[in-house]
């Protein structure tokens, strides 16, 4: 009996020592533009939380009201994007994958990638699935800068907004070309 308990403890210790895979997968700019429906350069004009009971009953989502432009179409954009989780203490519902509070404050300018979720209650919604989808834009040394998120991210380093626009445009053209060639 003592050996089986020791073996079980040893097996548990080995399993706990194995590296665990992170839930958030880093996506290159090419992967992110190919897997999303929209790329937006916008200012967050309002933020609120709501509980649609989707994808499970207790889920709370944050709605960001946005004003700016679509980098995919070049057209003005006024609308909303949602993400699972809330930074509001009263909601008691957060997620390790949700965009940061600093990146989603009202008044913040962001470069944001979003997917269309046709299953969302009340009609399709644009969804920013995790923090890898939202990049804050700050003014630095007289020019807007997209704040990078580290190795493996769409923008691993800080980059001038003008350069980020050009990179996003090139990635969209490549994604469209790849999709047409399938």
pLDDT digits (tens, 9 = 90+) for 90-113: 899 998 889 999 999 999 999 999
Structure tokens at 41: 């350069």
Q: How far apart are CA 175 and CA 39, in angstroms?
A: 13
Identify whether the C-beta of residue 144 lies closer than 8 Å to the C-beta of residue 138. Answer: yes
Is the overall model pTM greater than 0.75, yes or no?
yes
Convert the pLDDT of each residue in 142-158 to its tens digit. Answer: 899 999 999 889 999 99
Convert the pLDDT of each residue in 108-118 to its tens digit. Answer: 999 999 999 99
How confident is residue 15, by pLDDT bands cut at 50, 70 and 90?
Answer: very low
Q: Which domains occur in the chain, in start order?
A: 27-180 (2.40.50)
User: In the predicted model, is pLDDT for residue 123 greater than 60?
Assistant: yes
Residues 6+ apart with CB under 8 A from 173: none
What pLDDT does 22 receive? 41
User: In the predicted model, is pLDDT for residue 9 greater than 50?
Assistant: no
Three-state SS string over the chain comes to CHHHHHHHHHHHHHHHHCCCCCCCCCCCHHHHHHHCCEEEEEEEEEEEEECCCCCCCCCCEEEEEEEEEECCCCCEEEEEEEEECCCCHHHCCCCCCCCCCHHHCCCCEEEEEEEEECCCCCCCEEECCCHHHEEEEEEECCEEEECCCCCCCCCCCCEEHHHHHHHHHHHHHHHHHHHHCC
What pLDDT does 13 receive? 43
More confident residue, 35 or 43: 43
Identify whether the C-beta of residue 128 lies closer than 8 Å to the C-beta of residue 38. Answer: no
Q: How far apart are CA 88 and CA 141, in angstroms?
A: 33
How confident is residue 11, by pLDDT bands cut at 50, 70 and 90?
Answer: very low
Identify whether the C-beta of residue 117 lies closer than 8 Å to the C-beta of residue 127. Answer: yes
| Mean pLDDT calculated for residue range 69-92 | 94
How confident is residue 74, by pLDDT bands cut at 50, 70 and 90?
Answer: very high
Q: How far apart are CA 65 and CA 146, in angstroms?
A: 20
What pLDDT does 71 receive? 93
Preceding omega of 73 cis (within 30 degrees of 0)? no
Convert the pLDDT of each residue in 26-42 to its tens digit. Answer: 788 999 999 899 999 99
Convert the pLDDT of each residue in 45-68 to its tens digit. Answer: 999 999 999 999 999 999 999 999
């Amino acid at each position: 009996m003592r050996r089986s308990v020791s073996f079980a403890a040893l097996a548990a210790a080995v399993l706990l020592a194995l590296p665990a895979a992170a839930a958030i997968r880093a996506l290159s700019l090419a992967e992110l533009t190919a897997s999303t429906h929209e790329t937006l350069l916008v200012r967050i004009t309002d933020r609120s939380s709501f509980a649609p009971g989707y994808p499970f009953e207790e889920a709370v989502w944050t709605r960001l009201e946005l004003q700016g432009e679509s980098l995919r179409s070049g057209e003005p954009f006024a609308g909303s994007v949602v993400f699972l989780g809330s930074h509001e203490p009263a909601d008691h519902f957060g997620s390790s994958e949700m965009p940061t509070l600093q990146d989603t404050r009202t008044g913040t300018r962001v470069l944001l990638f979003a997917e269309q979720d046709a299953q969302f209650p009340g009609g399709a919604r644009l969804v920013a699935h995790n923090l890898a989808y939202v990049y804050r834009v700050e003014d630095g040394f007289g020019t807007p800068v997209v704040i990078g998120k580290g190795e493996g991210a769409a923008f691993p380093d800080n980059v001038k907004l003008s350069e980020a626009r050009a990179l996003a445009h090139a990635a969209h053209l490549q994604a469209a070309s790849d999709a047409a060639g399938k």
